[in-house]
C-alpha cells in the first residue's frame, strides 16, 4: 500500500459507501437469521432455498457475513486513517475478525461460523500480502 493519504473528500465518500454496504450486508445477515427461525422457515425465502438445496443457504449465509466483515474492516481502516492520519493496525482487524466469527457462530451455527471465519482470515492474509 502506498504511504499517500487521499484527499479528505475522497475519504469521506469512501467511508460513506463502505458504511452503507456494511449496513446492507448486516441487515441481510439479520434477515437470513430471522427467516431461519422455526416459526417462519416454512414460509420464508430461506425455507424455499432449503427445499431446493440446503447447501445454497449455508453458502449464502457465509458470503453475506464475509461481505459484512470485508466492508466493516475497510470502514474501520478508512475511519482510522481519516481521523488520525495513521493507518489502522492489525489489532483492529483481528478484533473485527473475532467479532464477526462470534456473531456468525451465534446466529447461524458452527459450520457457517467456521466457513465465514476461514474466508475472512483469507481476506486478512490478502490485505497483509498487499502491504509487501
For 48-64, the pLDDT digits (tens) are 998 899 899 999 999 99
Q: Name the residue with cell 458504511.
A: 19
Q: Is the pLDDT of residue 132 over 70?
A: no
Q: What is the mean pLDDT of the chain?
A: 89
pLDDT > 90 fraction of the chain, expressed in percent and rounded: 59
- Confidence band of 119 (pLDDT split at 50, 70, 90): very high
Question: What are residue 89's phi and psi, to 5 degrees?
Answer: -85, 175
Cell of 4: 499517500
Q: Is the pLDDT of residue 5 over 70?
A: no
Angle at 105 between CA 118 and CA 103, to 5 degrees: 100
Q: Could you tell me the residue ranges of all domains in the chain?
A: 8-131
- 89 torsion bin: left (phi>0), alpha (psi -120 to 50), beta (else): beta
pTM of the model: 0.88
Cell of 74: 475497510
Q: Give the ranges where 1-132 is alpha helix by DSSP (H).
A: 8-35, 45-52, 54-84, 90-108, 110-131
Segment 26-38, tens digit of pLDDT? 999 999 999 988 8
Among 49, 52, 21, residue whose Cα is nearest residue 35: 49
**How many CB atoms sit inside 10 A of residue 126's CB?**
10
Query: Taking residues 18-44, what's their average pLDDT?
Result: 91
pLDDT for the residue numbered 41 = 84
Amino acid at each position: 500500500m502506498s504511504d499517500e493519504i487521499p484527499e479528505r473528500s475522497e475519504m469521506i465518500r469512501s467511508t460513506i459507501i463502505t458504511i452503507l454496504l456494511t449496513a446492507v450486508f448486516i441487515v441481510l445477515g439479520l434477515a437470513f437469521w430471522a427467516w431461519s427461525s422455526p416459526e417462519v422457515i416454512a414460509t420464508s425465502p430461506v425455507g424455499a432455498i432449503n427445499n431446493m438445496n440446503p447447501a445454497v443457504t449455508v453458502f449464502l449465509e457465509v458470503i453475506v457475513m464475509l461481505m459484512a466483515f470485508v466492508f466493516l474492516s475497510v470502514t474501520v481502516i478508512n475511519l482510522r486513517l481519516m481521523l488520525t492520519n495513521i493507518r489502522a493496525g492489525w489489532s483492529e482487524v483481528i478484533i473485527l475478525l473475532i467479532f464477526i466469527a462470534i456473531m456468525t457462530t451465534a446466529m447461524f451455527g458452527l459450520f457457517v461460523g467456521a466457513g465465514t471465519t476461514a474466508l475472512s482470515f483469507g481476506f486478512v492474509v490478502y490485505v497483509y500480502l498487499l502491504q509487501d
